Amino acid sequence: MGRRRAPTRPSYPRWIRTSVVATAAAVGLIAAALVLPALLNPGGIGSPQSPAPESQAEAVLPVDRPAVSAGADPCIPLNVLASLENADMVRSLASAYVAKPRSVDGRCVSVNVSQEKSGVAAIGMAGGFASVPAAERPAVWLPDSTAWLRVAEDHAGSAVRQDGASLARSGIVVAMPASMARVIGWDTKAPSWAEVLAVSKDPGVWERLGHADWGKFKFGKASPTVSTSGLMGLVASYGVAGGNLKDIQTHQLTQPSVITKVKDGELSTSHYMATPEHFLWHARQADDAGDVSEFLSAVIIDEKSVWDYNRGISSNDGVTKQAGPAPREPLLAIYPSDGVLVADNPALALTGDWVSSQQSLAAEDFLAYARTEQGQEVVKTTGYRTIQDKVDPAVATTGRYAQSLQPVPLPSADVLVNVQKSFPDVRKRARALFLLDVSGSMGQEIAPGVTRLQGAKNAVTRALDHFTDDDKLGLAAFSHVGDGPLVPGLVSPVSPLKTNKSDLLAKLNALQPVAATPLFEAVGKFAAEQASEYNESEINTIVLLSDGKNDSSHPGDLKSLTEQLSHQHHSTPVLVFTLAYGADADTESLRAIAKASGAHFYDATDPNRLEAVLGDLVTSF
């Protein structure tokens, strides 16, 4: 087994914030079961009291009682940090909360909802959000799963409360194009998790079922370092490997037989992505082109994402969403017969030296509202199950939801943390070529004394920390002078990082800007070479970074290149992840290249975001 390494700890990016100004409620006394004690103590992380137990199915929900009149200005600013997955719901709760007159300690409240990947937020929380300006730090954290509270405790290195009061529920399901589910029979008889994983490893399953045109079984998973569905998918793999999904023991995670089975299961992954929305974006692009099977057979995601997809909502970055017509072929949510892991959306009111006493009262009031009849109605209409396991009929119909969930208990904190930490060891290995544009424009400065090329070198160097010794990496670069040949070409051949890292870094640091930008020629040449050495047990990919448009007299055009990549994708897929670097990058061509190869386009047209964007990109391996 390779050297064990803790998951990459990404830098905390700028949050994406929306503001909702509240006129907000008289707090009064809140029932003890609804009071959410503090998570963070001033100056550090503490261990507050455990939350009161709740009987979700039988609980009688309180009625929201807004104030007679709104409190006075200035409003109390309440920052709420949500996950990418549940941010829509949290914003809707905030909007509904402020739609009624509220007064907290005699003042109105402004609710500011920001969103972040679950794993990134957990790391930020563990450090007391030290890298975030005090005025922007949250007084409420609302991840989509209790799992992230447990991950935060591990990163903090001290006791942190591991449970918050659930505000909503969403099952983690296996989503498939409806026609594929019908052909395999899972539309009428749900498979077990073991059957799902076994089929995903069977390269000939579609051919035997009369659909050789669908190619191999393409199984998508999000990264367990940042995504709830990714983490729950890996938990399911360990449960199947250990023989009991409902009772995974810590000691099993180090058993050679279990590790071997999990590694074998991960080989069926087509590739990883940072969020489930990345997969659904590509599935939608393939559906629009007439054949969703070109990209996806199945993906592990949450129910709400299935509802979004089936009603025409998509996102190419997991953050910004766009609405369109419903897809030609909807997804079907498959609920494995041996149980479903559930995202329970726990809510925590935080304390720290950045949270005032009035903000603490406002947090309690907002979270109490979320568990009222009115708050839970919002939860239901935004695609979630309520704390009483009720689901909106229209949502259930569009999302193809099961009437009720058969929940699998969330594993212990120790199991969850160690499952996540095992990912670098058990994940499918990468065979990646970094392909850098070294045209003359890469010599332009992005900061005093820092050129675009130096910024790229810094970002690639940092990105190498994501990989393990067993990954195979290489480096190539492209330009030419006049009508001369493509240079410098391949500078560090793809080989195991444990033997190649020093050479790769030396060759990377030696690169210099040259002249032209033979973009199409370079991608076509290196994609063909990667395809000729294709290995289905590895994620075969190119990471392309370019700051300009194809300006070469050399042969090559976008149409021929995308046809080549599309043809390769069906039999020997080489995923060309493209990264637009700087405002002059040819984003249209880079998007087309990524799409044709089945990979994803990333936007670093603000060159100062390159390291963060590239760090996000490499989670696809």
pLDDT at 329: 95
**Does the structure show a pLDDT above 70 at 27?**
no
| CB-based contact 557:591 (threshold 8 Å) | no
Mean pLDDT rounded to a whole number for the chain:
87
| pLDDT over 70 percentage in the chain | 89
**Domain residue spans of the chain:** 16-168+344-387, 170-342+416-423, 428-620
* Weakest-pLDDT range from 61-65, 385-389, 561-565, 611-615: 611-615
Cα–Cα nearest to 15, from 80, 76, 77: 80
* Confidence tier at 7 by pLDDT (50, 70, 90): very low
Among 17-26, 284-293, 607-616, name the one with the lowest average pLDDT.
17-26
What is the mean pLDDT of the segment spanning 98-115?
Answer: 96
- The answer to whether domain 16-168+344-387 and domain 428-620 are alike in fold is no
The residue-averaged pLDDT of 349-371 equals: 95
Q: What is the pLDDT of residues 517-569, one digit of tens each?
A: 999 999 999 999 999 999 989 999 999 999 989 998 888 899 999 999 988 88
> Quick one: pLDDT at residue 162?
55
> Which residues, at least 6 apart from 295, have a Cβ–Cβ distance to it below 8 Å?
218, 282, 283, 285, 286, 598
pLDDT for res 286: 87
Query: Which pLDDT score, from 0 to 100, does residue 59 have?
Result: 65
pLDDT level of residue 1 (50, 70, 90 thresholds): very low
Taking a C-beta distance cutoff of 8 angstroms, is the pair 197, 238 a contact?
no
Query: Between these two residues, 342 and 556, which has the higher pLDDT value?
Result: 342
Predicted local confidence at residue 380, as pLDDT: 97
Q: Which of 197-206, 259-268, 315-324, 519-528 has the lowest mean pLDDT?
A: 315-324
pLDDT tens by residue, 407-444: 999 999 999 999 999 999 999 999 999 999 999 999 99
- Over the stretch 272-308, which tens digit does the pLDDT of each residue have? 887 888 889 888 988 998 888 888 899 999 999 999 9
Q: Convert the pLDDT of each residue in 577-598 to its tens digit.
A: 999 999 999 999 999 999 899 8
Q: Which amino acid is at 132?
A: V
Predicted confidence at residue 41, as pLDDT, reads 33
pLDDT at 45 over 60: no
* Region 203-217 average pLDDT: 91
Predicted confidence at residue 462, as pLDDT, reads: 93
Give CA separation, 128 vs 46, 90, 121, 196, 566, in Å. 11, 22, 10, 39, 46
For the domain spanning 170-342+416-423, the CATH number is 3.40.190.10
d(CA 398, CA 306): 8
Q: Are 576 and 466 in contact (CB under 8 A)?
A: no
More confident position, 311 or 49: 311
Residue 444: the pLDDT is: 93
Residue 145: predicted pLDDT: 95
Q: Per-residue pLDDT for 255 more than 80?
A: yes
The answer on pLDDT for 24 being more than 50 is: no
> 522 and 478 in contact (C-beta within 8 Å)?
yes
Task: For residues 396-406, give the mean pLDDT.
Answer: 94
Can you tell me the mean pLDDT for 62-91?
A: 96
Distance from the Cα of residue 434 to its chain's centroid? 22
pTM of the model: 0.85
What's the fold here for domain 428-620? Rossmann fold (3.40.50)
Query: pLDDT of 438-486, one tens digit each?
Result: 999 999 999 999 999 999 999 999 999 989 999 999 999 999 999 899 9
pLDDT at 160: 54
pLDDT 10s digits, 120-165: 999 998 888 998 999 999 999 999 999 999 899 888 876 555 568 9
pLDDT band, residue 365 (cuts 50/70/90): very high
Specify the pLDDT at position 608: 85
Question: If DSSP codes are grouped into helix, strand and coil, which group holds residue 346?
Answer: strand
Share of the chain above pLDDT 90, in %: 69
What per-residue confidence (pLDDT) applies to 311?
Answer: 96
Predicted local distance difference test score (pLDDT) of residue 156 = 83
Q: What's the confidence (pLDDT) of residue 452?
A: 94
Name residue 259's amino acid.
I
217 contacts 270 by C-beta, under 8 angstroms: no
| Contact status, residue 578 vs residue 563, Cβ threshold 8 Å | no
Which fold does the domain 16-168+344-387 belong to in CATH? D-Maltodextrin-Binding Protein; domain 2 (3.40.190)
- CA dist., res. 611 & res. 438, Å (int): 18
When pLDDT is cut at 50, 70 and 90, the band that residue 612 belongs to is confident
- For 137, 175, 183, 337, 544, the CA distances from 187, given in Å and listed in that order, are 45, 11, 9, 12, 40
